[in-house]
Amino acid sequence: MPRLARLVAGGALLVTLACASVPPAATPAASPAALTPDRRLAFEQLRVRQALDLLRDHTKAASQQTPPVVSPAFARLVAVSHDQLLRIVNQGQPDWRLSVSRGLDLLAQSVPPDHRLRMAPYLALVRAALQDVP
């Protein structure tokens, strides 16, 4: 086996092992029971913001790889959607959860077919964080 082929195969094996050792994204732990309703809502909103940040950061990093794993146009769409969804969360309107969920659905529908498998765990993480909001 040529040396380059062995290096590529070894690198692919390391990436596979590294990904396998990362625990799957699950619903984050419940908010502390001692929080008042207002503080619990703020806690859950923080988790939604963090999940949205993770979605944006992953997409940005994937678009900056050589060759890009995610198209730059899609990365821009995610960045714009991220900003808009954060504004909705931060405004704290009574129906903010529904608005973020709808915005996330629109973003999921606009994911190109070749990016769906890569983006699904991050979209599911945001949805899981939204489900925990009272």
55: domain range? Answer: 3-131
Q: How much is the pLDDT for 30?
A: 60
The domain total for the chain is: 1
What are 130's two structure tokens? 């939204």
Residue 113 pLDDT more than 70? yes
What average pLDDT does this structure show over 18-29? 45
Contacts made by residues 100-103, CB under 8 angstroms, sequence distance 24+: 100/48, 100/130, 101/127, 101/130
Per-residue pLDDT tens for 120-132?
Answer: 999 999 999 888 7
Asked if 123 and 116 count as a contact pair (C-beta separation under 8 A), the reply is: no
Higher pLDDT, 6 or 57: 57
Say yes or no to pLDDT of 81 above 60.
Answer: yes
What is the Cα–Cα distance from 63 to 45, expressed in whole angstroms? 27
Question: Could you tell me which residue, 69 or 8, shows the higher pLDDT?
Answer: 69
Q: pTM for this one?
A: 0.72
